[in-house]
Structure 1
């Protein structure tokens, strides 16, 4: 093909097809009546300057990538696969990376464990699952992402509008432009992927530099994860989960949810058996994989606490199992010295 013609053809096609990185669609947010009402509310409730906030919303538009990402998968519920999910997080990359992260930040991890009662391996596992130890913190503009979800995604508009409010307050408190902060498509920020409301409520300045920086300070991230879990009821020294065997139909126990409500002894009356303290309360966790036998576990209070970080039993079990692998790997390195 003639090179000049090929160049011209590419140019013509480029005018017809969306660029792979294209993500914005529609008028600027400042033209949306709901956004303008939100700006007035931010002025009345928190003293934000209307003109300044309007200019910031004038520079962003609905992000179609964000809106596609937030929609539930078109896969039927019965196709959820624990084994497929597990394979994403229980990898040599995360175990080796977590062991190295633990070694680099051993002092901070021990201090967090002493201060908040959360073991190092759990803190490291959460950071590993969330961002591979800070490698994947997200590249979306948080203001644009949250605005897209707050004003263009009705199913969870109230939640994301509240997070947008918290994000603007957070940016003002830290003296940074909200347009400069990057994060996940859902607006989560930094090494531990805190939503703005969680950062304002639970994050701590763990490195003592008089600022909370979850994007650049691993120390702040470590302390903040530990405090989040502690504030949600973490029980120091208590177990997280144990395997269980089930006889009979566990449907009623599964339907009861993941918050511990029955003792291990009471579970036995329903045909659920596990090696654990008979008086400890638990919930029955089912880990379903199509084409395979369902795995059953008893999840204790600390398992439930992990689900406050991400309300999924798959997530909590991935954190728990990665934490166990990290603890074993760290012990091997420690004893070989």
Structure 2
């Protein structure tokens, strides 16, 4: 199933963060497959042996325990197909990508999740400054609130990608990256339980085709560095504890620079001059190389209550157009857009999270909590009143 569907979902940029290194901690997992691929082959035993010896020496974990836990490790060929880049000439499609996440079924599930965990979500929002609808949006985009957390052995997934990554230009760098994640998985599971059976069970827990785990699809390294024990039960369980998942998503964004009460993005002016300037300034990199004042001076935005030196970037969201061309929507990304890109380095992903959050905010639980606006696209003077 990797082929065309995976290619459709690829977006402007890709890198490993806490989750799926190709396009998300697992969002593609939701729409590609939730079942285990049963094809398998042997891992290079010499490479794995050398790796386990290094981990044993560096972290004082008995080598025999590691060998026992990895004795039946298998490569999963189908995973290698899923991480392959799209074919030459493939056109990214923002409209299709968005439609898979900002849609009625996910919205209804988000409403239910928010109502069920409202008290804890709003407590987390108050403590971290990360809006409730963003927390709910990310968990919804990643796994539809736990419905699709992946069915691949995380141990075998990371071993496959760490020791037998497809022959791509970045093969060596990617193998190193996944070996590091495999090491993090070992340390995570060893800290949890050093008995042979539970240690091996932890290693073999299921996740996405890139090794992402739980409701928010965190990679092992991000679980170790950014996950939080939200329900205060003495352990972090992103698979079974919504509170841990909620708190961990908020903590990740906070650590990665979330700015309270600043917008995620701003719509640019619709005139041709503004569109041409946006096209010229868009470079596809998730870096704030511009300042908002510059963009106002160049006519992309009439005005804003945000400071002129607010870091900004131009986000391009292309879709196939009529007559074989390309239609591109441009928006101005702000610091919170980049915080979401740190969760998943994809413009499509970050914009989908923002727009799904807007949809969720329109149906947020009512009561004693005042309804807020996620974004006010029709009035840029007020846009800063949200994320």
Q: Counterparts of 1:268 and 1:111 in 2: how far apart (Å)? A: 36
Structure 1 counterpart of 2:290: 262
**Post-superposition shift, 1:251?**
4.4
Max radius of gyration: which structure?
Answer: 1
Does the aligned pair in 2 maintain the 1:247–1:271 contact within 8 Å? no
Stretches of structure 2 lacking an aligned partner (at least 5 in a row): 1-35, 166-170, 370-387
Other structure's SS at 2:320 match: coil
Structure 1 segment 285-296 matched on structure 2, within 5 A? 285-291=315-321, 293-296=327-330
Does the aligned pair in 1 maintain the 2:133–2:358 contact within 8 Å? yes
Structure 1 segment 172-183 matched on structure 2, within 5 A? 172-175=190-193, 176-177=198-199, 178-183=202-207
* 292-301 vs 311-320, greater mean Cα deviation: 292-301
Does the aligned pair in 1 maintain the 2:228–2:236 contact within 8 Å? yes
**Post-superposition shift, 1:303?**
0.5
Q: Counterparts of 2:160 and 2:302 in 1: how far apart (Å)? A: 46
Q: Counterparts of 1:147 and 1:32 in 2: how far apart (Å)? A: 11
Other structure's SS at 1:267 match: helix
Q: Counterparts of 1:331 and 1:122 in 2: how far apart (Å)? A: 14
Are 1:282 and 2:312 counterparts? yes
Structure 2 counterpart of 1:319: 353
Q: Which has the higher contact order (CA 8 A, sep 6+)?
A: 2
Higher helix share: 1
Other structure's SS at 1:215 match: coil
**Post-superposition shift, 1:307?**
0.4
Does the aligned pair in 1 maintain the 2:55–2:61 contact within 8 Å? yes
Does the aligned pair in 1 maintain the 2:275–2:330 contact within 8 Å? no
Structure 2 counterpart of 1:45: 58
Structure 1 segment 82-93 matched on structure 2, within 5 A? 82-93=94-105
> After TM superposition, what 4+ stretches of structure 1 lie above 6 angstroms from structure 2?
332-335
1:70-112 Cα deviation digits (max 9, x unpaired):
11122535x0010010011011011111011000000110111
Other structure's SS at 2:332 match: strand
TM-score, normalization by structure 2: 0.76
1:44-64 Cα deviation digits (max 9, x unpaired):
101122122122222111111
Structure 2 counterpart of 1:151: 163
Are 1:302 and 2:336 counterparts? yes
Does the aligned pair in 2 maintain the 1:259–1:301 contact within 8 Å? no
Structure 1 counterpart of 2:122: 110
Structure 1 counterpart of 2:185: 167
Structure 2 counterpart of 1:13: none
Q: Counterparts of 2:365 and 2:248 in 1: how far apart (Å)? A: 24
Are 1:101 and 2:113 counterparts? yes
Structure 1 segment 1-337 matched on structure 2, within 5 A? 22-25=38-41, 27=42, 29=43, 32-74=45-87, 76-77=89-90, 79-153=91-165, 154-155=171-172, 156-175=174-193, 176-177=198-199, 178-245=202-269, 246-255=274-283, 257-273=285-301, 275-276=303-304, 277=306, 279=308, 280-291=310-321, 293-330=327-364
Distance 1:274 1:108, change over 3 A: farther
Number of positions where the alignment pairs a residue of Structure 1 with one of Structure 2: 312
1:8-61 Cα deviation digits (max 9, x unpaired):
xxxxxxxxxxxx953102x3x3x5211111011011101122122122222111
Q: Counterparts of 2:255 and 2:182 in 1: how far apart (Å)? A: 23
* 55-64 vs 276-285, greater mean Cα deviation: 276-285
Structure 2 counterpart of 1:17: none
Q: Counterparts of 1:186 and 1:258 in 2: how far apart (Å)? A: 21
* 293-302 vs 214-223, greater mean Cα deviation: 293-302
**Post-superposition shift, 1:180?**
3.5
Other structure's SS at 2:134 match: helix
Q: CA RMSD for the aligned pairs?
A: 2.0
